[in-house]
Amino acid sequence: MRELEKIFYGNIVAYDTAMLPEAKSDALHNTIWKNVFSSDGSPKYDAAALPAVLAFSRYVRRECTCLSLTDKESMFSGNFMFTAIYNPNTPR
């Protein structure tokens, strides 16, 4: 459990740092790659992964913006939803 807690809080700090206004423009992309997509822990994404990493980054930023507009009562009561992830290349 301690190892999971260490990973969880480490990820929280990495995502928060990557989303700061003064962060480098690719900081969120690199953080998402490392924590979500990379199977070997490589710090930088490759060209084949770029579309997925960029789409995930846009989704994260959009959802954070929406959550920032959500009132506290809704947040504390769990009365909010995330938007669906839509892949235009996948048939509906």
- Give tens-digit pLDDT for 21-71: 999 999 999 999 988 888 777 777 778 888 999 999 999 999 998 888 899
In a domain, 17, yes or no: yes
Position 21 scores a pLDDT of: 93
Q: Please count the structural domains in the chain.
A: 1
Q: CA-CA distance, 45 to 37, in Å (whole number)?
A: 8
Q: CA-CA distance, 49 to 12, in Å (whole number)?
A: 22
Q: CA-CA distance, 86 to 77, in Å (whole number)?
A: 27
In a domain, 85, yes or no: no
Q: Is residue 87's pLDDT more than 80?
A: no
Position 57 scores a pLDDT of: 93
Q: Is residue 90's pLDDT more than 70?
A: no
In a domain, 51, yes or no: yes
Domain that holds residue 14: 2-77
In a domain, 58, yes or no: yes
In a domain, 39, yes or no: yes
- Amino acid code (one letter) for 26: D
Model's pTM, two decimal places?
0.76
Position 15 scores a pLDDT of: 95
In a domain, 60, yes or no: yes
Query: Residue for token digits 């990557």?
Result: 18
